[in-house]
Chains A and B, each alone.
Chain A
Amino acid sequence: MTFLEKQTDPTSPMHWRGDMQADYMYTSGVAGDRFFQNLKKRGTFLATRCPECKKVLFPPRLYCEDCFVEIPDKGWFEVPARGTIRSYTVVALDARGDKLPKPKVIALIDIEKTDGALLGIINTRNLDSDLTGKKVKAVLKPKTKREGTLKDILYFE
């Protein structure tokens, strides 16, 4: 049975406005902290190899989620901060739907010597040719300006 009162006034029902008032501090975790501290100090990537399935996990983690075993210390190793573009898109609008001053190229980059990939901004002026398969390397912030977050990678080119 429906409500016993009909809405006849178009300005009612009213609405109530509000927002979400909370900020967040996300810890990078035991594995993430090791990755970002290394990126900050040495400017290279770290990856982890699962002792059971032998997959090279990137981004590196404390455990392999498929085999559910912990990665031992000797499973960690350095990889160069570069890879190949697997796929990409050219973004023209921002999150609100307004036009961006300059289109942005976002790519999924298969990181060299790993079985994983990273999302990154591609610094290129050439939007006409197909970027798939292009080899790119990470350009980092100067060492003194790095903070230990993903933003330490300025872009790939």
Chain B
Amino acid sequence: MRDVAVIGGGMTLFRRRLKETGKELSYLASKMAMEEAGIDKKDIDMVVMGSAPDAFDGVHMKGDYLIDGSAAAGKPYVRVFTGGGTGVFAPIAGWWHVASGVADIALVVAEEKMGSCYPHPQTAFRHIWDPVLDRPLHPNLVWLFAMEMNRYMTRHGIKKEDIARVAVKNKRNAVGHPCAQLADPNITVEDVLNSEMMAWPVQRLDISPPSDGASALIFCSEDKVRQFTDDPIWVAGCGWTIDSTMWTNRDLYFPQYVANAAKMAYKMARITNPPKEIDFAEPYDPFDYKELHHMEGLLLCKKGEAPILTREGVTQRDGDLPTCPSGGLLGVGNPIAATMGQKVCELYWQLSGKAGKRQIPGDPRTGVGQAWGDIMQMGTVIVLRR
């Protein structure tokens, strides 16, 4: 198994609806990553596409449809999908291609066009539920996360104010991100607590928006990386785990599958004390409580401790464990798989000192990114290290 480094990243604007087709978005993100790495289509050996339900874009072979914009015409290609976990799973699949030795340079593209689905992207989510047990009750995804949030809050006695702090931090952090959809330098905890009630306890400003967007990453093997950089950013570890679909038979207060994926990634990265050895984290934050839930799942703190760390400012950019310095999904947007831009491209840009206004002070050396998918089932974790 070879060592693998990241040599370029790219992202498009994230908005509720973009004019570009899915293929055009894939092209723009791929081209940006290729420009940073200084390579052309002919230099790419293999392509991995990550994209979540076909039902958003409305083309039911989405993976194969987007290849033209993903520099894949005529190349070895695969599309992977693990629901919301795709944003970190696609880079993991890209890593497989290079670590195994079958490719020296692999392009990973992630795309989502949720704006095509009417009346609302939630309508596409109608079709992920069990047709017999769940669909006749007409559920929506906000209910599902509201139920998980409720269980988490009740088990640990967490107040909404502490959870709202995450939304405030991330939307303010997003001010330094050119692609951000919901950056807000002035948002306060009161704004979040006064926002419209969606499904108790979830309020409007607790949730990330649906978005159109694409992102891309380029992986390079240790054999060729010195052609591109003297200071490579390496993939130190990957982990992925899925739990049962029978979510009504599980205790939702702790994401065991995220912890299992994290352990797998940390073992590969030879990390034995995550809170000490990890400098910053990009956990998946489609809802504000999810950042806390996932910090605990990533074993960065004890169960129930994440809200306390947030309250004490530990997770701010200048704190001891900067969390979501990109602005996360809450600030930059949530085009499901394309969140690879904030979760993995961001790790790369932070570690190479290229994050501009979002740059974490000091000398970060190790970052962990994580995504979460399906019906509270999939945990995907990646560790990058300089």
Contacts and interface: CB of A to CB of B under 8 A. Distances in A.
B116 A24 contact: yes
Given A27-B19, A27-B20, A29-B21, A22 B27 contact: no
Contacts of B123: 21-22
A24 B117 contact: yes
Given A22-B123, A63-B31, A68-B40, 13 more contacts: A18-B131, A22-B118, A22-B127, A25-B115, A25-B116, A26-B58, A27-B17, A29-B23, A62-B20, A63-B69, A66-B41, A67-B41, A70-B27
B9 to A, nearest CB: 17
Interface in A1-43: 16, 18, 20-33
Interface of A: 16, 18, 20-33, 61-63, 65-68, 70
A31 B24 contact: yes
15 contacts: A18-B131, A21-B126, A24-B58, A24-B116, A25-B115, A27-B17, A27-B115, A27-B116, A30-B19, A31-B24, A61-B68, A63-B24, A67-B41, A68-B30, A68-B40
Nearest to A19: B127
Contacts of B127: 20, 22
From A28, A30, A33, residue with most partner B Cβ within 10 Å? A30
B55 interface: yes
A70 B31 contact: yes
Given A20-B127, A63-B69, A68 B41 contact: yes
B71 A68 contact: yes
Contact of B131 (A16, A62, A70): A16
Contacts of A66: 41, 73-74
Contacts of A65: 67-69, 73
Contacts of A70: 27, 31
A23 B123 CA distance: 9
A142 B6 CA distance: 54
Give the 8 A-B residue pairs with the shortest CB-CB distance, closest first.
A29-B21, A68-B41, A65-B68, A24-B58, A23-B118, A22-B123, A65-B73, A29-B24
B127 to A, nearest CB: 6
Interface string B1-45: 000000000000000011111011001001100100000110000
Contacts of B117: 22-24
A20 B73 CA distance: 31
Given A22-B55, A22-B126, A23-B118, A28 B132 contact: no
Contacts of B17: 27
Contacts of B124: 22
Nearest to B117: A22
From B27, B126, B131, residue with most partner A Cβ within 10 Å? B27
A148 B55 CA distance: 24
A28 B41 CA distance: 25
From A22, A27, A31, A70, residue with most partner B Cβ within 10 Å? A22
Nearest to B58: A24
B362 interface: no
A124 to B, nearest CB: 32
Contacts of A63: 24, 27, 31, 69
Contacts of B31: 63, 68, 70
A27 B19 CA distance: 6
Given A32-B21, A63-B69, A25 B118 contact: yes
A18 B68 CA distance: 34
Interface string B58-102: 100000000111010110000000000000000000000000000
A62 B27 contact: yes
A62 B123 CA distance: 30
Contacts of B58: 22, 24, 26
B116 A26 contact: yes
Contact of B19 (A21, A22, A33, A61): A33
B37 to A, nearest CB: 13
B119 interface: yes
B354 interface: no
B135 interface: yes
Contacts of B23: 29
Nearest to B126: A21
A16 B55 CA distance: 21
A30 B118 contact: no
Nearest to A22: B123
A70 B23 CA distance: 13
B122 to A, nearest CB: 10
A26 B56 CA distance: 10
A103 to B, nearest CB: 28
Interface in B292-350: none
